[in-house]
Amino acid sequence: MRKFELIAPCHFGLEAVLKKEIIDLGYDVIQVEDGRITFFGDEEAVSRANVFLRSAERILIKVGSFHAETFEELFQGTRSLAWEEFIPADGKFWVAKAASVKSKLFSPSDIQSVMKKAMVERLKGIYRVGWFEENGASFPVRVFLMKDEVTVGLDTTGESLHKRGYRKLTAKAPIAENLAASLIMLTPWRGDRILVDPFCGSGTFPIEAAMMAANMAPGMNRSFTAESWTEVVGRRNWYDAVDEAGEMVDLNVDTDIQGYDIDEKMVAVSRENARLAGVEKLIHFQRRPLSELRHPKKYGFLITNPPYGERLEEKEALPALYREIGERFAGLDSWSMYLITAYENAERDIGRKADKNRKIYNGMMKTYFYQYLGPKPPKRQKQDR
C-alpha cells in the first residue's frame, strides 16, 4: 500500500485540536504549522482522515516542495514533480487555489497559470501527447507559498470537510461545522453532560455535539474527490472507512443537548438539519428568548456563537445583549460558558473577565473564544458490587 505525506489545513488557532485528532486516529504527525498539520499515512489514511476528522478543512496528498523566488523557478520546480504518479493521461487537473505569505511570488492567478503550464509540459513528455482532453477524474491542486518555500498538494476532499451534508438550510451568519466541532473539543464537555446553545441559529453546535455523543463520524454521509482516484487510493479503502464509521455509531446514548433561538423559523431549520444529520432524537430545540434562559440542573455548559453586530443597528444593541448574557449566565449555578465572538467588548459587557481567552481566525475575521470555567461536578460514587 502506498505511503504519503498528508497535509490537513485547519482554522488558525486550532492546530492543537487537529493534531490530537490525527494522533488519536493512529497516525504520526510530522509537522505543525500555522493553519495546517502534516502527517504520514497510507491509502487507508486518506479515506479515514476524510471520514473521521472533525476539525480539518480538507486532506491533501503532498506532491512535493521546493524554493521559488521567480516564476521560472516556480515553473521548473513544478515540472520536476512526479505528477504522473497521481494523474492519469485522461485526468482533469488544475491549480484550484494558491496562497502566498511573505513570498516574492504573490499573485494567485499568475501562480496558478504558471503551475498549470508546468504540469502540462511534464505530463506531455510522460504520456507522449500534444494536448490533454481532461475528461477523466478530477485532480485539483492546492499550493502554499511561505517565505518563498512552495508546498504542493493534491486535494483529495473536494468540497471542504466542514460540509458534512446535513446543513441544507442556514442562518444569516452560520458557524462552520468543523469550527463548531473544534470549539466543543476545546471544552471539557462530554456526551453525558448538559449542553445548551441559546443562539442556536441553524443548529450547528447542538448537532455537532450530538454527533460526538453518538460517535458519528462527520464524513460518513458525503462523497470525496479522491473516490474516483482508483489508481491512487483503492475504492475498497472508502468502503472500509464508511463501514468502520457505521459500526461505531450509537444513537441510544442518553443526552441533554438543547438549542434555543428567538426566531421560530430558525428553530424549524435546526430541527430539519438535525433530522438530516440523523441526530434529531438526541437534541431538544425550542423557541426561547435569551431572557428566559434557565436550567434546573447544575454543571452544564453554555456553548454558543452570539451575534457579532455586523450592521450598525446591530452593533448598537450589542452592549445590552452581552450584559444580558452575563446576567443569564450568573443565574446558572455551577455552569461553564464558552462563546466565540468578534465583539471586542464582550468581557466588559458580560461583567466578568474570562478564565481563558483564545484567539481564533474564522476565515479572515479575528474572533475570540471566551472560556468561563465552572466547578467540576463531584465524582460519581462507584456502585457496590
**DSSP state letters, 266-325:** HHHHHHHHHHHHT-GGGEEEEE--GGG---SSSS-EEEE------SHHHHHHHHHHHHHH
Entry pTM:
0.94
Paired strand residues for 256:
194
Tell me the C-alpha distance between 59 and 158, whole Å.
9
Residue corresponding to grid cell 476524510: 50
CA distances from 173 to 23, 198, 302 (A): 32, 15, 19
Asked whether the beta carbons of 221 and 166 are under 8 A apart, the reply is yes
Q: How far apart are CA 14 and CA 36, in angstroms?
A: 9
Quote the pLDDT of residue 310. 65
Closest by CA to 12, choosing from 379, 320, 363, 322, is: 363
Would you state the cell numbers that stand for residue 7, as one nine-digit string?
497535509
Instruction: Round to whole Å and give the CA distance between 216 and 195.
Output: 18
Structural domain boundaries in the chain: 3-155, 177-216+228-372
pLDDT value of residue 313:
60
Q: What are phi and psi of 223, to 5 degrees?
A: -110, 165
Residues contacting 135, CB < 8 A, separation 6+: 90, 92
The sheet carrying 92-101 orders its strands as 29-33, 36-42, 3-9, 60-67, 149-155, 138-146, 92-101
CA atoms within 13 A on the CB side of 319: 3
Residue 61 corresponds to which amino acid?
Answer: I
CATH topology of domain 3-155: VC0802-like (3.30.2130)
The whole-angstrom separation of Cα 263 and Cα 178 is 24
Give the residues of the chain that fall short of pLDDT 50.
382-385
pLDDT at 142: 98
Reported CATH class of domain 177-216+228-372: alpha beta
Q: Look at residue 311 in the predicted model and tell me its pLDDT.
A: 61
Cell numbers representing residue 234 in the block: 483503492
Residues 298/191, Cβ–Cβ less than 8 Å: no
Distance from chain centroid for Cα 366: 16
Q: What is the pLDDT of residue 57?
A: 98
The Cα–Cα gap between 333 and 162 comes to 34
